[in-house]
Structures are given as structure tokens and as C-alpha cells.
Amino acid sequence: MSIINVLKKNYRIIALVVVTALVPLVYLLVYATGGIKYVFSHTMYIPILLAGMFFGAPFGLLVGLAGGILLGPLMPFETTVISPEPQEFINWFYRMIIFMSMGGISGYVSNKLRRDAQRINELMSHNQETMIPNTNYLGAGILKLSLGKQSLITVLINNHNSITDVLGTEVFHKLIFGIYQDLMDYVGTEGFVVQSGRNKLWVVKKHEDLNIEAGQIWSLLNRPRDIDNIPMYVDYAVGLNSSHNVNNCAKLENFRGSDTSARLAQNQNVPYIIFDESLTQKRKEYELLATFSRALEMNQTFLVYQPKIDLKTGFPVGLEALIRWEHAERGILYPDTFIPIVEQTKLIHPMTDWVLRRALKKIWEFSGMGMTFPISINISARNLYDTDFFDRAMKIIDESQLPKNLIEMEITESVLMIDPEVSKNSLQKFVANGIRIAIDDFGKGYSSLAYLSQFPIDVIKIDKFFMRQIIQNVSSQQIVSATIKLAKQLGYKVVAEGVEEEEVAKLMQEYECDYAQGYLYAKPMNDQDVISWYQKHCRQKTS
């Protein structure tokens, strides 16, 4: 425990020692400096006021009385003369009354201010609905803790909405207060509990073994509970973590580990989870998510483009737009870092709109430089199943005034299979307006081309997994060859993704694959590099 905490905890003892020592010291000071005749007697106000401030009116009066006597009948008028002259009664008695009055008044005012401050502190540090300490109490709570490692425990009441809806808010408040009391009995004198959210409690206690504590907490929480003779069913999720520094227990961010664990336990429908470092990844993901919307607004995101090559002519026939994020602290982030977490939220919609607008703008710019070919963008499941997506996307496309055949949407087969009927209806609306549809990463899922034929598809992109092993793996060769043959029979164009070797490209030509895409031809490039690459590539092909 720090020196400041020791002083806070023992301030009354320190004040008592100071006051007790000052009163005789002031007496000696006055006596040594010539008696009551001189101004040094006013120093006695210091211990009198301190006594009233720290110990209230009665002690202030008592110290005032003691000071009045010491500087009254026990103190000569002047100590420097040979025969000291005693003070007149009226002088020292009046002074004593003033001393006592000052001690009493300071004590009264101090008590009132202390009561008011305590009331304000209670209002600020307690939830006014449940009267359970809130997060403002953390600073005071750590004074109860002993030195050493502390256990931090988050308790979530998962079904709080159901309890409130069915039984009312008042019943829920009684319930959470009862849980709070049980937890306080559990932590004892060396710990505390606060309510950090409507349905969340934080427990801080002396550390033992988190596995043992998890079992103890879980047993305690699952005791039978009745509120107003109504049996209660309470669904909990518990997260546990630890802290080596007592003072850190007053910081809100120190509970992020236990909160993350409790939320994960809630999502996985398990009783409790003990925090470990692997869970910090989820915190990093959330931090990324929290800043992504601003990244779109501040142009921290940008597009790169990877060409698609006609395997017969060797010339580019299109580009795929891929998003990147230039993060201020983490540098360039690739889609697999942030797209999966963005897809879980509504942020996927403004992101897709942003990509669509940028891609359309770039089609115009490339066309002005003699590079007129389609650009494809990737569409997520949330986009496809959003009822407003078609109208929003078509409005953006119509505003661009571009030919619709220059726009291609890529969708993975797994997205289609979430709800095939909705997928088909949504895609048909785009196709009816001239938008091309490509199935991305074909072969990663379990659907067949025969099944996919019911969807309005223009292009099949064979997943790069097959390209990586096709030279050595005969089975992959047979699968890819058969896929290309059937796709062409169904009227689809076929793109081989992830082509990195000349040998693979030649094999795709033998299988009569239409297009290829991969590092053999070009990595994803920014717009300026695309222009340079295109000009150089075309010169090589025509020379």
C-alpha cells in the first residue's frame, strides 16, 4: 500500500498526535517569547481549529478550554520581568471563551461539511436505484485491499431483460442487491463489490486460485433465490482475471480482461471463462472495429486492384478491387484482419458503399486512359440479405452513369447457401439491371455447379487452394478440369485464382479456362501502379 493510502487510512490518529503535541508546544512558545503580552499567543488557534476540524465540536471545545487555561491563569502577562505579573481575570477568561467558541464553531462547520461531503460521495459512488456501490467507489474500495495479487471477477446477469419485462424493474433491483450482499459476504473484509452496469457486478478480492474461485462463485450465484415469494431463475456468465498491482484495481481498464471473459462465456453459453492472453486478440479486434467508421471518413482506407488476364490473348480483361486500411499505429492492414469483424456489424454497409463508389470512380478514370474493362467488388452476406442494399447500390451505380456491364459483384458460394431463395431473388434484381455476378472461392464449400445453376451467375472463380497443389495432385487436376468443362457447358466464364507459376497457367490453358488471376501476372496494385503495369504489359504483348 502506498504512503498516500497509509496517510488517508490513519489521518485521524496523525491529527490527534499533531493536536496533542501542538497545544503544549504553543504554551512553551508563548512563555519563551515573553508571555501573553506578545502576539505569539495567536498560534494557539492552530491546534484548536485542527481539533474542531478533525474531531468535531466537543473535542474542539475541549482543546479550546485547555488552550485558554494554559494561556490564561497558567501564563503570566510578561515573562521577561523579574516579578511576572498575572493576567487580569477578564482578559484570560474572555480569551478562553473565544478559544472554545472557535473550537466549537470549527467542529460544527467541519461536521456539517463532512456530512454533506459524505452524502454527495454516497450519491456519486452508489447506484441510486439499487444503492450498490458503482465504479466511482473503486478508489475508496482499494483501501480495503491488502498488498499482493488480487482476483477480478465480472458477473453478468444474462436474462436481466426477461426478468425486468416479466416481473418489473423493482424486482430486478431487489434481485441484484441480494446477489451483491451474497458476494460481499463471500469476499469478506479484504474485498469489495461494485455495480458497473445495469446487469453487471465487479468483484475484487484477495487472489487465491482462479479455478477454485470460479467454482465458489458459481455455487454462490446458483443458490435458490426468491423475491417477494417469487422463485427466480437467473442466468449468469462469469469472467475471471487477476491483477498484481493493488492500485490498478481502481482503474476501469483493469477490468477489461474479466469483462471480455464474461462476455465470451455468455456467447458460448458456458458458466465461466478464466482470462488468458489469447483473449486479448478479441480486444484488439474490438478496438479496430471502434475506429473503422472514422477510418472510412478520414480516407485511411484505400483500394488496390488485381488484374484478370485472358488466357488466350494474355491481355487484361478486368480488375478486382480490394480494400486496404492504412492504420495510424499498425500500418497497412489487409482484409482478412478487419473484414471478418466488420462483417458482423452494420459497418459492412457503409464500407461496401464506399468501395462501390471508389471503384466506379476509378472505372471512369481508367477508361479515360484507354483502360476500359470491368472492376469487380466483393459483396458480403450482410449486404446480400439487407433489404435496402439493392436500392442503395443501384442508386450509387445510376449516379455514376457508367455502363452496367463494367460492374461485377463477387459473392462466395457459402454466402449463397445461407438462404438460397433470398440469395437468388436478390441476385436476379442485379442481373436484370445489367450487373454481372461472379462466384468467388468456388470449391471451398460443398455446393455443386449443378446446384449453383439455379442462380443467375456469369463467372465462376476457382479457389486458389487448387492452384497451389494442382501440379503435384492428380485429384486436383481432375476436379479443376471437370469443373471448367461443366461451367462452360452451363454458360459460365471461368477464372483460375491464385496462379503463381507458369506451369499452372499453361495447364489452365490446356483445360480451356477463360481467365487467370494471381501473382504470376501482378500483385494487387494502387491505381498509379495499375496504369504503369498496364502500359508495360501491353507493350510486351504487342512487341
Write out the DSSP string of 329-395: TTEEE-HHHHHHHHTTSTTHHHHHHHHHHHHHHHHHHHHTTT----EEEE--HHHHT-TTHHHHHHH
pLDDT of residue 444: 73
Q: Is the pLDDT of residue 447 over 70?
A: no
409 and 529 assigned to the same domain: yes
Q: Is the pLDDT of residue 9 over 70?
A: no
- In 3-state terms, what secondary structure has residue 327? strand
526 and 467 assigned to the same domain: yes
Q: Is the pLDDT of residue 258 over 70?
A: yes
In 222-327, where does DSSP find H-type helix?
256-268, 280-297
pLDDT of residue 416: 82
Asked if residue 130 belongs to a domain, the reply is no
pLDDT in tens, 281-337: 666 777 788 888 889 888 899 999 999 999 999 999 999 999 999 998 889 999 988
Spatial distance between the Cα atoms of 68 and 101, rounded to a whole number of angstroms:
11
Is 120 or 38 the better-scoring residue by pLDDT?
38
The domain that holds 366 is classified in CATH as 3.20.20.450
What's the mean pLDDT in 81-90?
Answer: 82
99 and 17 assigned to the same domain: yes
Confidence of residue 404 (pLDDT cuts 50, 70, 90): very high
Q: Is the pLDDT of residue 516 over 50?
A: yes
Q: What percent of the chain has pLDDT over 70?
A: 96
Q: What is the 3-state secondary structure (H, E, C) of 408-436?
A: EEEEEHHHHCCCHHHHHHHHHHHHHCCCE
The angle at the Cα of 388, spanning 384 to 391, to the nearest 5 degrees, equals: 100
Spatial distance between the Cα atoms of 428 and 337, rounded to a whole number of angstroms:
31
pLDDT of residue 11: 77
What's the mean pLDDT in 375-384?
Answer: 92
Boundary-marking domain end, from 90, 124, 158:
124
Q: How far is CA 115 from CA 13, 119, 121, in A?
A: 20, 6, 10
Asked if residue 36 belongs to a domain, the reply is yes
Q: What percent of the chain has pLDDT over 90?
A: 52
Asked if residue 187 belongs to a domain, the reply is yes
What's the mean pLDDT in 21-27?
Answer: 93
pLDDT of residue 246: 82
What's the mean pLDDT in 527-533?
Answer: 92
pLDDT in tens, 161-205: 999 988 999 999 999 999 999 999 998 888 899 999 899 999 999
439 and 508 assigned to the same domain: yes
Spatial distance between the Cα atoms of 352 and 321, rounded to a whole number of angstroms:
11
Closest CA to 11 of 50, 57, 60, 62: 50
pLDDT of residue 7: 59
pLDDT of residue 80: 76
What's the mean pLDDT in 422-442?
Answer: 93
Spatial distance between the Cα atoms of 113 and 56, rounded to a whole number of angstroms:
11
> What pTM does this model have?
0.58
370 and 512 assigned to the same domain: yes
- Yes or no: say if 377 and 405 are a contact pair by the CB < 8 Å rule: no
Show the domain range for 106.
3-124
69 and 140 assigned to the same domain: no
Boundary-marking domain end, from 124, 157, 183:
124
Spatial distance between the Cα atoms of 219 and 232, rounded to a whole number of angstroms:
16
Asked if residue 532 belongs to a domain, the reply is yes
- In 3-state terms, what secondary structure has residue 75? coil
Asked if residue 280 belongs to a domain, the reply is no
Instruction: Find the range with the poorest average confidence among 10-14, 187-191, 453-457.
Output: 10-14
pLDDT of residue 349: 93
Grid look-up 445510376 returns: 398
Which cell goes with 300?
Answer: 485511411
Mean per-residue pLDDT of the chain: 89
Asked if residue 129 belongs to a domain, the reply is no
77 and 174 assigned to the same domain: no
Residue type, 61: L
Confidence of residue 1 (pLDDT cuts 50, 70, 90): very low
Report DSSP state, residue 227: E
Other residues' Cβ atoms within 10 Å of the Cβ of residue 543 = 5
Closest CA to 534 of 362, 370, 406: 370
pLDDT of residue 542: 66
- Yes or no: say if 76 and 86 are a contact pair by the CB < 8 Å rule: yes
DSSP letters spanning 15-74: HHHHHHHHHHHHHHHHHHTTSTTSGGGGGGHHHHHHHHHHH-HHHHHHHHHHHHHHTTTT
pLDDT in tens, 463-504: 999 999 999 999 889 999 999 999 999 999 999 999 999 999
86 and 147 assigned to the same domain: no
Confidence of residue 407 (pLDDT cuts 50, 70, 90): very high
What's the mean pLDDT in 114-136?
Answer: 82
305 and 340 assigned to the same domain: yes
178 and 83 assigned to the same domain: no
236 and 329 assigned to the same domain: no
Asked if residue 430 belongs to a domain, the reply is yes
Boundary-marking domain end, from 252, 275, 298:
275
Q: How far is CA 453 from CA 112, 424, 427, 431, 456, in A?
A: 83, 11, 13, 14, 7
The domain that holds 229 is classified in CATH as 3.30.70.270
Residue type, 343: E
**Number of independent structural domains in the chain:** 3
Instruction: Find the range with the poorest average confidence among 2-11, 138-147, 265-274, 382-391.
Output: 2-11
371 and 255 assigned to the same domain: no
- In 3-state terms, what secondary structure has residue 475? helix
